[in-house]
């Protein structure tokens, strides 16, 4: 049945791209999955489990392994790894996309395009007062994810020692209209607090401080957990102004505490970086004549066969990407069936 | 009749700031504190706090703000303006507030004296022997107490 | 392979917008849907072709995906309906967030729902309202769904020239475009205060709110014409009964989806029973807009899967050993056992977790490849030729086994490990553990069970069951004084390879 239909091109194989292509394939549509990296899975494939004391914290990072395991049931999905899209041409019916990558150059025809190109973690170098590149023990939360996944424990880049005091700075690159990010990235409070919990579970003596504006509700049991989270960590409802190296290798900040500016220092600092549009976004916008949402991400053009799914359309958790992917599959099919 | 102690009448201050001085979006502050935490003037004098100044404006307390000397403590280094994620032009705002204060006849006495000096001599501070002694040591000519050009320009402007 | 005939009608249960939108979406995508409507009058906007059962209440659901039989009480009559899938789509209940609501409601205090009714023109405000204060919960645990409603109401009040203040603890903006909506409310003139404490009193008929502005550290008081309380979203009133009838898990608050990421996006522990929108969790408009089409995809995917499901028995059942004790029926987390005068195993509902086999006191049920004799053989065979006192590992296929599979076969770590993959921790039988220790020439140094973390088990309780089994065997071995084998339960996930490697290397 699937042979008679046009294929659907899915760009990006993170949580959204994988979910959407499997949903479409299960519903009888041919999918072509193009991924610029050398492996499937996107960002989430590099995240750590955040379970605490044998209890899942519902971050959803392991779901990507589930998706990849299920992906084996769909040999009919054509996968192009290490492949980019040079050009997309609109035809009377559908599109021709010129793929360029590991398998050489190839033109493929498709009836609809699903952009699941994901996000880019905010680059802290864009915010000069963080002095990110000159403070060795300041890392991003993405780096912490990888650290915990690959080494189980946190360590300081400067000397490999385990930090005893850690500070998380929230909203780095989020809620930042000046830099074109006028949105809450939705995921940072969740990942930061879950990782902080995990860190404390692994090394109970670790003292963890949070600099924050508003802590966002994440997960279903937030209201019960928030009370104990408030006890577990030190909470400072400010974002520091200056960041500097202190005592040789510690991370210092100046911050307002109880109406006075004080300097505090930590063994390590984690920047809870937000989600920003990918560097490819502009290319796709130009190729497909797409406009930008008020949050600065790609807007779809569903009436003309272009769909944007997952965090390519705006900040989104793994959980929401999965829902969004399933929802988009229905809209793509409606388009393919000519129902719209 | 009980009433709020929150002021409601001087919304026009924010309007003034926007229309006359181009300082917009003051209400969009979500009080993250980045401005205050990095303020060098605040380090020296804790009475100065840009976050509180913005908060007072949001709460329509411009009137009492203009009555206080704190707005005159800003060193105009622009650190806060540079860092504000909401893009509020905080330093410009402080300057605008000072202008408003002066129009209402409120400014620290030193500021008035300084303004008069600029107007009459074109200088920020009065010259004394010390300046010329130093210049002489460096082989520089002595200065004239009044900068004619500046005084003329200021006269033309007004 | 033998294709099944699948009933593709979808039964939607609901009492509001979600159910109506869902039925329509299903219908548009070519699926027959019919609506079990809680109310006595038909909902508006239901197109022809969608059958609606009024005043209807589900009282029983038997069968499996593609073949459910529903018993429905509709206007005092029992009726039977067939369906391929069931979707629960009730609206949520709301509850005002603030303690003042527990005191008799003052006329100057309204709930957000009241305020929305006023804005829609369905209710009149008494007197002249110039100042309104919105109160959100002060414990910091509000939700984006609740703040979205509040921001929208604020904008409408501001539009009418009414002065607005809002007091809450943490501003919840983590949803699509919600930060922008919050910004519009601020720019529009609403003043937001953050605090976790305030007092409210009534003076001359008007509410007076006192609190500290935490930035200025000054006492503020607002005398309002009206206080509007934000509301928490609570599970709909019909859910507690319905979950019993359907045999589905709920989360702690009572929403009808377990707090388990494996149920995402809209699944329950019972295959073919979906839960959508406010029955699932508090949702924003954007969430609901995604969930409705997602539900359509989910059910179509499931039907396609069911149609191609190979008709083969994975459960073997020894009727002579069965004591009809109903343990299997009660322990099955997926509603896959239909009990007549014996258990009947529903192939499409079964998720092959093996929990029934581990629970059955007479060992009358066997899951294919997990038969006790086979496992016994595996243990005995595997252990031949090991180079030192080995480690025997039982690993769930979703977590521990994925990690073990990712270790390259030449890795020296694997030399001492003999491992057996389980479809779920719940499959672990006491006998497997005893076999691992006793049924071989060489006594293992360690027996480890690597199952999923709690709440991350596909079968919900599988990992809890595995832990309990390990604990029981441990205490049994203690009681007989056996100390040559260390027996451990370790919960893990597929992305914890490093942690598990370290634990294994510690042998």
Give C369's DSSP letter. T
Structural domain boundaries, residue A171? 121-275
Domain membership flag for residue B2 = no
Please state the rounded mean pLDDT for residues C336-346. 95
Nearest CA in chain C to A67: C262
Q: Which of B85, B81, B150 is nearest to B117 (CA)?
A: B150
Question: C17-28 and C285-307 are packed helices; what angle lies between their axes, rounded to 10 degrees?
Answer: 40
What long-range pairs does C235-242 form, CB within 8 A, spacing at least 24?
C235/C92, C235/C93, C235/C279, C236/C15, C236/C90, C236/C91, C236/C92, C236/C93, C236/C278, C236/C279, C237/C93, C238/C15, C238/C38, C238/C57, C238/C90, C239/C88, C239/C90, C239/C279, C242/C13, C242/C58, C242/C88, C242/C90
Same domain, B139 and B86: no
Give C9's DSSP letter. -
**Token pair listed for A205:** 């003596």
CB–CB contact B58 C204 (8 Å): no
Q: Give the CATH number for residue B30.
A: 1.10.1060.10
A236 interface with C at CB cutoff 8 Å: no
Using pLDDT thresholds of 50, 70 and 90, give the confidence band for residue A1.
very low
Question: Which of B28, B38, B86 is nearest residue A254 as measured by Cβ atoms?
Answer: B38
Neighboring chain A residues of C259 at a CB cutoff of 8 Å: 58, 219-221
Give A33's DSSP letter. E
Share of chain C above pLDDT 70, in %: 96
What distance in Å separates the CA atoms of residue A137 and residue C404, rounded to the nearest whole number?
33
What distance in Å separates the CA atoms of residue C495 and residue C507, rounded to the nearest whole number?
21
C94 interface with A at CB cutoff 8 Å: no
- Which B residues 51-70 touch C at CB under 8 Å? 51-52, 55-56, 58-59
Report chain B's C-alpha Rg in angstroms.
19
Same domain, A163 and A107: no
Question: Which of C176, C183, C300 is nearest residue A314 as measured by Cβ atoms?
Answer: C176
Neighboring chain C residues of A182 at a CB cutoff of 8 Å: 179-180, 183
Same domain, B72 and B94: yes
CB–CB contact A239 B33 (8 Å): yes
Same domain, B99 and B127: no
C255 interface with A at CB cutoff 8 Å: yes
Domain membership flag for residue A171 = yes
Candidate ranges A238-252, B8-22, C433-447; pick with highest mean pLDDT: A238-252
What lies within 8 Å, CB to CB, of C210 at 6+ separation is C198, C199, C200, C201, C219, C220, C221
Residue holding tokens 């203040």? C165
For C298-351, give the DSSP string. HHHHHHHHHHT------EEE-TTT-----HHHHH-TTS-EEESSSEEE-TTT--
C-alpha distance from B54 to closest chain A C-alpha (Å) = 15
Please state the rounded mean pLDDT for residues C457-463. 96
**Total beta-carbon pairs less than 8 A apart between chain A and chain B:** 65
Same domain, A268 and A158: yes
CB–CB contact C223 B31 (8 Å): no
**Total beta-carbon pairs less than 8 A apart between chain B and chain C:** 46
pTM: 0.94
What are B31-89's pLDDT values in tens digits? Answer: 999 999 999 999 999 999 999 999 999 998 888 888 888 999 999 999 999 999 999 99
Summary mean pLDDT of chain C: 92
For residue A215, whether the previous peptide bond is cis, meaning omega lies within 30 degrees of 0, is no
Domain membership flag for residue B109 = no
Q: Tell me the β-bridge partners of C213.
A: C218
**Interface mutation vs chain B, best among C132, C147, C179, C186, most B CBs within 10 Å:** C186
Last residue of one domain, picked from the residues A275, A291, A315:
A275
Model pLDDT, residue B107: 86
Q: Quick one: C401 exposed, middle or buried, by C-beta within 10 A (0-12, 13-18, 19+)?
A: buried
Neighboring chain C residues of A221 at a CB cutoff of 8 Å: 251-252, 259
B70 interface with A at CB cutoff 8 Å: no
Neighboring chain A residues of B34 at a CB cutoff of 8 Å: 238-241
Same domain, A263 and A285: no
What are A234-280's pLDDT values in tens digits? Answer: 999 999 999 999 999 999 999 988 888 999 999 999 999 999 999 99
Last residue of one domain, picked from the residues B103, B124, B139:
B103
Q: Which of C14, C75, C77 is nearest to C50 (CA)?
A: C14
Domain membership flag for residue A3 = no
What distance in Å separates the CA atoms of residue C96 and residue C230, rounded to the nearest whole number?
6
Element (H, E) at B95: helix B90-103
C220 interface with B at CB cutoff 8 Å: yes
Same domain, B42 and B15: yes
Model pLDDT, residue A3: 46
Question: How many contiguous H segments (helices) and E segments (strands) does chain A have?
Answer: 7, 18
CB–CB contact B32 A177 (8 Å): no
Cβ–Cβ contacts within 10 Å for residue C385, how many? 6
C-alpha distance from C466 to closest chain A C-alpha (Å) = 13
Cβ–Cβ contacts within 10 Å for residue B141, how many? 8
Structural domain boundaries, residue B33? 8-103
ipTM score of complex: 0.95
Question: Which of A175, A238, A260 is nearest residue B33 as measured by Cβ atoms?
Answer: A238
C-alpha distance from C131 to closest chain B C-alpha (Å) = 10
Model pLDDT, residue C364: 96
Per-residue pLDDT at A338 exceeds 90: no
Give C134's DSSP letter. E
Instruction: For CA atoms A244, A247, A249, A255, give the dihedral sign.
Output: negative
**Interface mutation vs chain B, best among C215, C218, C226, most B CBs within 10 Å:** C215
Last residue of one domain, picked from the residues A275, A303, A327:
A275
Model pLDDT, residue B19: 85
Please state the rounded mean pLDDT for residues C291-302. 98
A337 interface with B at CB cutoff 8 Å: no
Domain membership flag for residue B1 = no
Last residue of one domain, picked from the residues B103, B127, B144:
B103
Domain membership flag for residue A93 = yes
CB–CB contact A47 C495 (8 Å): yes
Same domain, A32 and A128: no
8 Å CB contact between A246 and B44: no
Per-residue pLDDT at A60 exceeds 60: yes
Same domain, B51 and B74: yes
CA A335 to chain centre: 28
Same domain, A234 and A160: yes
Summary mean pLDDT of chain A: 95
DSSP H helices, A89-187, are 141-151
Same domain, B126 and B96: no
Lowest pLDDT segment from C31-40, C92-101, C491-500: C92-101
Domain membership flag for residue A129 = yes
Same domain, B151 and B125: yes
Lowest pLDDT segment from B129-138, C29-38, C94-103, C451-460: C94-103
A183 interface with C at CB cutoff 8 Å: yes
Q: Which of B15, A215, B29, A182 is nearest to C181 (CA)?
A: A182
C204 interface with B at CB cutoff 8 Å: yes
Instruction: For CA atoms C410, C412, C416, C422, give the dihedral sign.
Output: negative
Task: List chains touching C (3+ CB pairs under 8 A).
Answer: A, B
Same domain, B77 and B143: no
Domain membership flag for residue B108 = no
Distances (CA, A) of C220 to A84, A260, C209: 58, 22, 8
Same domain, A50 and A64: yes
Cα A233–A211–A121 angle (5° rounding)?
Answer: 110
C33 interface with A at CB cutoff 8 Å: no
B90 interface with A at CB cutoff 8 Å: no
Q: Tell me the β-bridge partners of C452.
A: C492
For C440-490, give the DSSP string. SSS--SEEEEEEEPBT--TTSSHHHHHHHHHHHHHHHHHHTT--SSEEEEE
What distance in Å separates the CA atoms of residue A20 and residue A17, rounded to the nearest whole number?
5
Same domain, A167 and A207: yes
SS3 content of chain A, % helix, strand, coil (to 5): 35, 30, 40
Using pLDDT thresholds of 50, 70 and 90, give the confidence band for residue C234.
very high
**Interface mutation vs chain A, best among C453, C489, C504, C505, most A CBs within 10 Å:** C453
C28 interface with A at CB cutoff 8 Å: yes
**Over the range B23-54, which residues count as b (16 or more CB within 10 Å of their CB) and which as e?**
bbbbbbbbbbbbbbbbbebbeeeeebbbbbbb
Domain membership flag for residue A150 = yes
Per-residue pLDDT at C80 exceeds 70: yes
Same domain, A143 and A205: yes
Same domain, B22 and B90: yes
B84 interface with A at CB cutoff 8 Å: yes
Q: Tell me the β-bridge partners of C419.
A: C393
- Which A residues 119-148 touch C at CB under 8 Å? none
Same domain, A196 and A214: yes
CB–CB contact B59 C216 (8 Å): yes
Question: Which of C175, C265, C304 is nearest residue A186 as measured by Cβ atoms?
Answer: C175
Nearest CA in chain A to B38: A241
Instruction: For CA atoms A220, A224, A229, A235, give the dihedral sign.
Output: positive
A260 interface with B at CB cutoff 8 Å: yes
8 Å CB contact between B4 and C222: yes
Domain membership flag for residue A1 = no
Per-residue pLDDT at B10 exceeds 70: no
A53 interface with C at CB cutoff 8 Å: no
Task: Please count the structural domains in chain A.
Answer: 2
User: Phi then psi for A212, rounded to 5 degrees?
Assistant: -150, 165
CB–CB contact A241 B79 (8 Å): yes
A242 interface with B at CB cutoff 8 Å: yes
Model pLDDT, residue C53: 94
Quick check: helix, strand or coil at residue A334? helix
Q: Give the CATH number for residue A94.
A: 3.50.50.60
What are C109-118's pLDDT values in tens digits? Answer: 899 999 999 9
Model pLDDT, residue C3: 57
Task: Please count the structural domains in chain B.
Answer: 2
Same domain, B89 and B141: no
Neighboring chain A residues of B70 at a CB cutoff of 8 Å: none
Same domain, A159 and A301: no
What are C157-208's pLDDT values in tens digits? Answer: 999 999 999 999 999 999 999 999 999 999 999 999 999 999 988 888 889 9
Domain membership flag for residue A2 = no
Q: Which of A47, A115, A122 is nearest to A85 (CA)?
A: A115
- Which C residues 108-127 touch B at CB under 8 Å? none
Same domain, A266 and A299: no
CB–CB contact C143 A314 (8 Å): no
Domain membership flag for residue A62 = yes
Same domain, B26 and B59: yes
8 Å CB contact between B2 and B8: no
What distance in Å separates the CA atoms of residue C489 and residue C507, rounded to the nearest whole number?
15
CB–CB contact B3 C189 (8 Å): no
Q: Tell me the β-bridge partners of C73.
A: C57, C78
> Strands (DSSP E) along chain A, which ranges?
8-11, 31-34, 78-80, 83-90, 95-101, 104-110, 112-115, 119-121, 138-140, 165-172, 207-211, 234-236, 242-246, 250-257, 260-266, 268-273, 275-277, 306-308
Same domain, B76 and B44: yes
8 Å CB contact between C453 and C493: yes
Same domain, A189 and A150: yes
Characterize the bridge pairing of strands A112-115 and A306-308.
parallel
Share of chain B above pLDDT 70, in %: 94
């Amino acid at each position: 049945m699937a042979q008679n239909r046009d294929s659907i091109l899915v760009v990006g194989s993170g949580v959204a791209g994988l979910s959407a292509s499997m949903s479409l394939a299960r519903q009888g549509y041919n999918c072509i999955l193009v991924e610029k990296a050398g492996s499937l899975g996107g960002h989430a494939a590099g995240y750590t489990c955040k379970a605490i004391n044998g209890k899942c914290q519902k971050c959803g990072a392991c779901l990507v392994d589930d998706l990849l395991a299920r992906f084996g049931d769909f040999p009919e999905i054509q996968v192009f790894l290490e492949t980019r899209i040079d050009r997309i041409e609109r035809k009377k019916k559908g599109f021709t996309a010129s793929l360029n990558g590991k398998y050489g150059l190839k033109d493929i025809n498709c009836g609809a395009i699903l952009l699941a190109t994901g996000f880019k973690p905010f680059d802290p170098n864009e915010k000069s007062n963080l002095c990110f590149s000159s403070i060795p023990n300041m890392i991003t939360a993405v780096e912490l994810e990888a650290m915990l996944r690959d080494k189980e424990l946190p360590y300081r880049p400067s000397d490999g020692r385990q930090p005893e005091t850690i500070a998380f700075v929230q909203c780095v690159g989020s809620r930042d209209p000046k830099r074109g990010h006028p949105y809450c990235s939705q995921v940072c409070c969740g990942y930061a607090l879950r990782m902080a919990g995990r860190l404390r579970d692994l090394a109970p003596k670790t003292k963890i401080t949070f600099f924050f504006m508003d802590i966002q509700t994440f997960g279903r049991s937030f209201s019960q957990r928030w009370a104990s989270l408030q006890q577990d960590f030190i909470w400072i409802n400010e974002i520091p102004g200056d960041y500097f190296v202190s005592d040789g290798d510690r991370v210092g900040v100046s911050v307002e505490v109880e109406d006075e500016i004080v300097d505090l220092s930590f063994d390590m600092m984690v920047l809870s970086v937000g989600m920003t549009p990918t560097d490819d976004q502009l290319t796709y916008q130009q190729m497909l004549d797409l406009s930008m949402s008020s949050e600065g991400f790609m807007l779809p053009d569903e009436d003309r066969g272009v769909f944007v799914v997952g965090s390519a359309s705006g900040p989104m958790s793994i959980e929401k990407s999965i829902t969004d992917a399933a929802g988009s599959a229905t809209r793509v099919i409606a388009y393919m069936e000519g129902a719209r | 009749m009980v009433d709020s102690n929150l002021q409601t009448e001087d919304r026009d201050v924010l309007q003034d700031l926007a229309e006359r001085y181009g300082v917009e979006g003051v209400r969009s502050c979500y009080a993250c504190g980045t401005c205050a935490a990095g303020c060098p003037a605040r380090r020296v004098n804790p009475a100065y706090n840009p976050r509180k100044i913005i908060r007072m404006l949001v709460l329509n307390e411009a009137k009492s703000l203009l009555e206080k000397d704190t707005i005159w403590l800003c060193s105009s280094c622009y650190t806060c303006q540079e860092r504000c994620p909401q893009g509020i032009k905080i330093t410009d705002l402080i300057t605008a507030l000072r202008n408003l204060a002066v129009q209402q006849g409120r400014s620290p006495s030193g500021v008035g004296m300084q303004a008069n000096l600029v107007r009459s001599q074109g200088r920020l501070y009065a010259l004394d022997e010390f300046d010329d002694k130093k210049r002489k040591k460096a082989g520089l000519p002595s200065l004239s107490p009044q900068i004619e050009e500046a005084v003329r320009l200021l006269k033309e402007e007004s | 392979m033998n294709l099944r005939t699948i009933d593709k009608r979808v039964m939607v249960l609901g009492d509001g917008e979600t159910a109506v939108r869902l039925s329509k979406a299903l219908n548009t995508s070519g699926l027959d849907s019919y609506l079990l409507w809680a109310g006595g009058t038909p909902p508006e906007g239901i197109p022809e072709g969608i059958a609606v059962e009024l005043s209807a209440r589900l009282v029983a659901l038997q069968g499996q995906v593609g073949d459910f039989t529903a018993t429905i009480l509709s206007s005092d009559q029992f009726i039977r309906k067939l369906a391929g899938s069931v979707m629960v789509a009730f609206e949520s209940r709301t509850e005002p967030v603030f303690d003042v609501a527990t005191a008799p409601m003052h006329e100057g205090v309204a709930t957000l729902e009241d305020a929305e009714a006023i804005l829609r023109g369905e209710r009149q405000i008494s007197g002249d309202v110039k100042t309104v204060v919105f109160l959100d919960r002060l414990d910091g645990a509000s939700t984006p769904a609740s703040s979205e409603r509040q921001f929208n109401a604020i904008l409408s009040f501001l539009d009418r020239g009414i002065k607005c203040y809002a007091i809450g603890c943490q501003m919840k903006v983590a949803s699509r475009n919600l930060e922008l909506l919050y910004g519009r409310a601020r720019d529009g003139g609403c003043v937001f205060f953050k605090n976790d404490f305030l007092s409210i009193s009534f003076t001359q008929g008007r509410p007076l709110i006192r609190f500290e502005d935490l930035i200025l550290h000054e006492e503020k008081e607002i005398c309002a014409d009206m206080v509007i309380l934000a509301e928490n979203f609570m599970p709909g009133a019909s859910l507690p009964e319905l979950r019993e009838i359907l045999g589905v898990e709920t989360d702690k608050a009572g929403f009808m989806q377990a707090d388990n990421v494996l149920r995402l996006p809209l699944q329950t522990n019972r295959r073919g029973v979906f839960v959508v929108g406010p029955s699932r969790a508090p949702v924003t408009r954007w969430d609901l807009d995604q969930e409705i089409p997602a539900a359509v995809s989910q059910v179509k995917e499931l039907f396609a899967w069911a149609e191609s499901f190979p008709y083969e028995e994975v459960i073997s059942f020894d009727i002579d050993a069965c004591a009809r004790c109903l343990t299997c029926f009660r322990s099955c987390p997926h509603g896959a056992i239909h009990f007549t005068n014996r258990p009947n195993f529903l192939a499409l509902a079964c998720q092959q977790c093996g929990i029934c086999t581990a629970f059955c006191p007479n060992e009358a049920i066997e899951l294919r490849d997990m038969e006790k004799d086979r496992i016994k053989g595996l243990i005995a065979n595997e252990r031949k030729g090991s180079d030192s006192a080995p480690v025997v590992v039982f690993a769930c296929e979703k977590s521990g086994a994925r990690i073990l599979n990712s270790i390259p076969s030449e890795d020296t770590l694997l030399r001492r490990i003999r491992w057996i993959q389980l479809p779920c921790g719940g499959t672990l039988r006491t006998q497997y553990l005893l076999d691992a220790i006793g049924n071989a020439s060489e006594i293992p140094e360690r027996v480890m069970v690597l199952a999923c973390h709690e709440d991350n088990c596909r079968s919900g309780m599988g990992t809890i069951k595995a832990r309990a089994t390990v604990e029981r065997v441990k205490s049994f071995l203690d009681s007989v004084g056996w100390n040559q084998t260390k027996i451990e339960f370790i919960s893990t996930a597929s992305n914890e390879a490093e942690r598990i490697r370290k634990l294994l290397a510690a042998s």
